[in-house]
Structure 1
Amino acid sequence: MRIISPLLLCLFCVFTSAQKPNSIKRIFIADTTAVQNDSTKVVIRNIFITGNRKTKEYIIRREIGFKEGDTVEAYNIIPKIERARENIYNTQLFLEVLPQIRNWLNGAVDVYFEVKERWYLFPLPYFKLVDRNLNQWIDEQKASLKRVNYGLKFSWNNVSGRNDKLRIYLVTGYTRQYSFTYDQPFADRKLRHGFTVGFSFNQNRQVNAYNDFNKQVFFPVNNYGNSELGILKQQVRGEFGYSYRPDIYHRHYVRLNIINEKVADTIIKINPNYFGDGRSNVSFPELSYTYNYTNLDSIAYPLRGIAAYVSLLQRGMGFNKAVNLWQLDFNISKYITIAKNHFSVQLYGKLKTPGNQPFYNIKSLGYGELYLRGLENYVVDGVASGLAKFTYRRKLLHVSLPTLIKRNGVTYHVPIKIYAKAYGDVGYSYLPHPVNTLLNNKMIYTGGFGIDIITLYDFQLKIEFSFNQLGQNGLFLHTQKEL
């Protein structure tokens, strides 16, 4: 179940690296008001970083945005240091980043960054739903524990101290999954070029054969992973990726996937258009380019800033005439804070060509993050889709709860933030030849209100009461992060 693993992780972290209460202010200066309108030039004399036992110091310095010897206007020094703090925190390597200004003498200052590192190694039991979300599992699959995957998830972050990541999954249960991925974002001395390599092998005993009235239809209907029909779907995937990050906010990715998928003949009898033209086996390369811009106060739960991406994918690349898909995805998200009120607008778009695609290639709204709050139980396939999400938030609570852990006489704390919110979503998905659909080729909209709970290691629990244009409403739970 999606909620269980993060909860186990957070529980583990409480007893390994819980946070101490802030012993110093984020930015300490004797008189901040004295410099708010002061255009005097100030030299950054020294930058000191402490607390990084595992992380390489140059990885942190890359995120700061200024260096020793730089000249800054006095009124701008605090905003620059706060921006640097946010950038360092957004590496997701640290529980906390505490900056200080010291020794403001003779037109020069020293800047200190104290970091508290996260726990990076997680060999955890793996327990996850196979359904798209918790509500689909409860409402449509009767919360059957047979519809879960379980096994071992080995996650090692910051392997070499350069923010690289290693993932190894050994999963059985409803689905068999064996995979590994290694991501090294900073492979060169200038810390601009990186790479990714991965491999996965998956087998399924039940397949989403087609969709009817915007609901997924599975075969066998009552199969919970132990059917005598055996394996109905198998996928083998190899992944190779290159990344380029010229500065703090811009990233470029090029990925090449080599994929083989096959389904049982029974699935093709049910839906001959699963892969197209009655095929039961397809092999193809997939090449994609993604540009990503991120300038946020917090990647995990943003309240200020802007983020955007655009991605172009080509599936088939001329090697297999049976597979030919060009896909364009784009997103722009804007977050604004006015006093204690937080507003956000998220815009998503997806275009696919040629328009006549097999079932395998027409997933759109309802999958991943591209869903309308209140329509979690539905999917809306299409070749041209758009989605707009509007959210208002206001903080209700921000506390640090003491734990039983003490070190050097200091009690460790676990932070908890709670936000109330109201929201509305609008979407549209075009399908050239819709059959048995409630939501295609028309405007769809939802709304609701709820609360978000954020705690250690950016774990989030979103409790939402939503309604939709079909006259339905209900309580929905999510643990996905904002981005």
Structure 2
Amino acid sequence: MLVILFVLLSFFAEAEPVQNSDAELLPDSVKRPASARVAPMDSIGRFVRINRIFIIGNRITRDPIILRELTLKSGDFIYSTDLQHILETDKKKLINTRLFNTVEIRTLELETDLVDLLIDLNERWYTFPSPIFELSDRNFNEWWQNYNHDFSRVNYGLRLYQYNMRGRNETLRFIAQFGFSRRFGITYRFPYIDKKQRHGLAVDFDFIETKNLAYRTADHKLEFLESKDILRTTRVGGLTYTYRPSFYESHLVSLFYRSTNVRDTIELLNPNYIGKEKDTQQYASLTYQFNSDHRDYVGYPLRGYYLQAFLTKNGLTSSDDLNKFEVSGTFASFIDLNKGFYLSNYTVGYWSSPDDLPYMNYGALGYQKQIIRGYEVYVIEGPEYILNKTTFKKKIFSRAYNWRAMPIPQFRHIPLAIYLKTYADVGYVSNYPHYEINSRLTNKLLSGVGMGIDIVGSYDMVLRFEYTYNAEGNRGFFFNLKKEF
């Protein structure tokens, strides 16, 4: 099947990119380029000096937030043959802040060795008071197949995202959710709290109540209990410190405190849900995370790579109710094969200790990006797992529209791209000791292959339509609203 699809893909004509470029990414640095006192010329190029930098179109975003992403500063010298390459990379970095729909950087030549830079921006819409009407399940296919597309399993309410607060790229998130589970939460993120724009903070508070709770897993499918009473209450508070020393690398250190209470009904159904003979679990956790992100466009990358690693210690004192150590590493690469063909690969490994834990604290494949395609309806729990995803795709359509009749300028720019793809995923999950009720998919190689279509639109919207065969002999159509990785 993969060979046939590869032949079909080769018949499509090459499409022009919307927002991506063939230029390589620059080495990661925030240091100013080496200056020169003179501007010598030769047959290849010359040194030019950056005079002034003009920014237009930023009605809300402050200039320092924009200048933070630029390799070049006023007064820098750069070789003329390198200038366009650097400006193209800076354009990508500004797009990846997710503050702008479009970015153009032009040079204004004053003299043979002196240029101004003009940065022309189209800002995004930053306020999203959107109603919540969404499935409570992990994905569309789990809701459709496992729970008979029951609309009582829907959450509703209001979610408010205020991006770019005060023009400083700060983010306020507020959630008031009702329905299958009730949740109230607030997050405020300060990306920079210092003049050099390297240190940041984020504050989180969450309160969650649910009358419908997955109290155990049977044959790798979640089993729920529905009640008129509150079955579980969770309170979470935390503080995150961020350090971004360069354009592409960042470090995060988070300290959180979590408290969870469950009704005795859950204890009767699953004595190990929160710990033997317990109805409360309270603990502090400390997390370190490292990110190295060199993707061309984070909304739907086609070139570059990213690396992520994190370590978490749950339970910092002897009085904490949980003692768990977690380590995870992720690497993804995106390769432009030319003529509209692209190859991407994603690998993640996870390890935790000890392996004698309450059910609520199990590690598992089956959530967010950690899913083997073809196994969307399953939760595969274990203290260790590894997952690899490979996708080969062909761009069959790409165009950006300008909707002039739209009264809100932030929504006039409408990029649209369509990709035909084929893919193969493999994974392995080791089982928890004495967990025979969920052993059919553990301690064995799992795989899924298939084909599909990705539709990429405005504001990082990605629609995925996929048809997958898995190693268990099952096949089916799967729909997702986010990029695969």
Q: TM-score per shorter chain, which class? A: 0.7 to 0.9
Contact 2:50 2:74 in 1 (8 A): yes
- 2:423 corresponds to: 423
CA contact (8 A) 1:41 1:107 kept: yes
Is the 2:344–2:390 contact (alpha carbons within 8 Å) kept by the matching residues of 1? yes
Q: Which residue of 2 aligns with 1:11?
A: none
Relative distance call for 1:262 and 1:406 in structure 2 (3 A) is closer
Aligned residue number for residue 388 of structure 1: 388
SS at match of 2:169: coil
Partner of 2:242: 243
**Structure 2 contact 464–480 (Cα < 8 Å) conserved:** yes
User: Which residue type is aligned with residue 173 of structure 1?
Assistant: G
Q: Which residue of 2 aligns with 1:130?
A: 136
> Are the counterparts in 2 of residues 302 and 482 from structure 1 also a CA contact under 8 Å?
no
**Which residue pairs with 2:358 in the alignment?**
358
Partner of 1:327 in structure 2? 326
Q: Deviations over 1:317-368 (max 9, x none)?
A: 1243531000011101111102121111111011101122221222321012
User: C-alpha separation between the residues in 2 aligned to 1:118 and 1:438?
Assistant: 47
Deviates more, 1:130-139 or 1:412-421: 412-421
Contact map agreement 1:168 1:179 (CA 8 A) in 2: yes
CA offsets 1:119-162 (integer angstroms, 9 cap, x no match)? 11111211111000001111111212111111111110001111
- Mean CA deviation greater in 203-212 or 375-384: 203-212
| Structure 2 counterpart of 1:400 | 400
1:277 CA displacement? 1.9
Matched, 1:181 2:187: yes
DSSP 3-state at the match of 2:86 = helix
Separation (CA, whole Å) in 1 of partners of 2:384 and 2:191: 32
Alignment of 1:97-108 (within 5 A): 97-103=103-109, 105-108=111-114
Equivalent position SS for 1:405: coil
How does 1:116-127 map onto structure 2 within 5 Å? 116-127=122-133
- Specify whether residues 201 and 406 from structure 1 end up closer, same or farther in structure 2 by C-alpha distance, changes over 3 A only: closer
* Contact map agreement 1:268 1:278 (CA 8 A) in 2: yes
Partner residue, 2:151: 145
- Summarize the alignment of residues 275-314 of structure 1 with structure 2, pairs less than 5 Å apart: 275-314=274-313
1:378 corresponds to: 378
Partner of 2:216: 210
Residue 474 (1) aligns with residue 476 (2): yes
Find the partner of 1:194 among 197, 200, 204. 200
For residue 479 of structure 1, what is the amino acid of its counterpart? L
- Distance 1:337-1:174 versus aligned 2 partners, 3 A rule: same
Q: CA deviation at 1:236?
A: 0.6
Root-mean-square deviation (CA, aligned residues, Å) is 2.3
Matched, 1:435 2:436: yes
| Cα 1:78–1:404 shift into 2, 3 Å | closer
Identity %: 33
Aligned to 1:6: none
Aligned twin of 2:86: 80
Structure 1 residues 228-279: Cα deviation after superposition (integer angstroms, max 9, x where no partner): 3x11111011111111111111111111111110111111112111122232
Residues in 1 aligned to 2:359 and 2:272: alpha-carbon distance in whole angstroms:
6
Q: Distance in 2 between matches of 1:258 and 1:365?
A: 24
Could you list the per-position Cα deviations for residues 88-120 of structure 1 after superposition, in whole angstroms to 9, with x for gaps in the alignment? Answer: 000000011112122163223222211100111
Q: CA deviation at 1:401?
A: 4.2
Structure 1 contact 171–177 (Cα < 8 Å) conserved: yes
In the TM superposition, what are the counterparts of 1:255-294 in structure 2 within 5 Å? 255-294=254-293
Structure 2: where are the runs of 5+ without partners? 1-17, 24-40
Q: Which amino acid in 1 is paired with 2:467? A: F
State the partner residue of 1:5.
Answer: none
Secondary structure of 1:64's counterpart equals coil
Listed as ranges, the gaps of 5+ residues in structure 1 are 1-21, 28-34
- Does the residue aligned with 2:165 lie in a helix, a strand or coil? coil
**Which residue pairs with 2:164 in the alignment?**
158
Matched residues in 2 for 1:56 and 1:344: separation? 35
CA–CA distance in structure 2, aligned partners of residues 238 and 129 of structure 1: 25
Equivalent pair of 2:283/2:321 in contact (CA under 8 Å): no
CA contact (8 A) 2:332 2:346 kept: yes
Q: Give how far 1:408 is off.
A: 13
> 1:408 and 1:417 mapped to 2: Cα distance?
22
For the Cα contact (< 8 Å) 1:284–1:319, is it kept in 2? Answer: no
1:381-403 residue CA offsets vs partner (Å, 9 max, x unmatched): 11111111101121111123454
Whether contact under 8 Å (1:26, 1:100) holds in the other structure is: no
Q: What's the offset of the Cα at 1:71?
A: 2.0
Cα distance in structure 1, aligned partners of 2:230 and 2:147: 20
Kept in 2, the 8 Å contact 1:285–1:319? The answer is no
Amino acid at match of 1:210: R
Point out the more displaced range, 411-420 or 305-314: 411-420
Are the aligned partners of 2:91 and 2:103 in contact in 1 as well (CA < 8 Å)? Answer: yes
3-state DSSP of counterpart to 2:425: strand
Paired letter, 1:254:
V
Amino acid in the other structure paired with 1:139: Q
Q: Does 1:336 align with 2:365?
A: no
The whole-number CA distance in structure 1 between the counterparts of 2:318 and 2:141 is 40
Cα distance, 1:180 vs structure 2: 0.6
Alpha carbons of 1:150 and 1:424: their partners in 2 closer, same or farther (altered >3 Å)? same
CA separation of 1:482 and 1:161: change in aligned 2, threshold 3 A: farther
The CA distance in 2 between the partners of 1:392 and 1:43, in whole Å, is 43
From the superposition, tell whether residues 104 and 351 of structure 1 become closer, same or farther in structure 2 (CA, over 3 Å): farther
